[in-house]
Amino acid sequence: MRQRIAAYGLCRDGDGRVLLVRAAPSTHLAGQWFLPGGGLGFGENPEDGLAREFVEETGLTVRAAALRTVLSDVSVLPSQVRVHTVRLIYLVSLFDGEPRAEIAGSTDDVRWVSSNLLATLPVADYARRALSAFA
């Protein structure tokens, strides 16, 4: 059993589309879409971790974020290890840059997704929960 603390950002553009990233084929979540973000390092400030993950996964520099909710879930990895993840969900209100996919990382695509397209994508459960809370 493991516990993981992670920070994720819910970011919308001027057209109301949400920014999502797709899990790379090398991960156990391959093909699923989720909010940009990820695990925090030991002693890492959550806002700093969110900014670091955002740049890594999207190429965007986060300028401002506010904590909106905390989600918790338990999953089982392919190795049969049970992981309890506590997810800090931030509303990202300001950002700089142009989205670009991560190279050789845990994600392989990034895009602005409309609500119509969102319904057709394989979106991770926690991301759907976060998005529905702020629809």
Q: What does the pLDDT look like over 72-128, one tens digit per residue?
A: 999 898 899 999 999 999 999 877 888 999 888 899 999 999 999 999 999 999 999
Report the predicted TM-score, pTM, of the whole model to 2 decimal places. 0.92
H-helix or E-strand spanning residue 124: none
| Rounded CA separation 95/97 (Å) | 7
Looking at per-residue pLDDT, the higher value among 93 and 36 belongs to 36
How far is residue 110 from each of residues 1, 18, 34, 64, 68, measured CA to CA in Å? 31, 10, 10, 20, 22
Q: What CA–CA distance (Å, rounded) separates 135 from 121?
A: 16
pLDDT tens-digit series, residues 60-84: 998 777 899 999 999 898 899 999 9
User: How much is the average pLDDT of 47-59?
Assistant: 94
Task: Kindly state the helix (H) or strand (E) to which residue 54 belongs, with its residue range.
Answer: helix 46-58
CATH architecture of 2-133: Alpha-Beta Complex (3.90)
What average pLDDT does the segment 39-60 reach? Answer: 95
Count of positions (residues) in the chain: 135
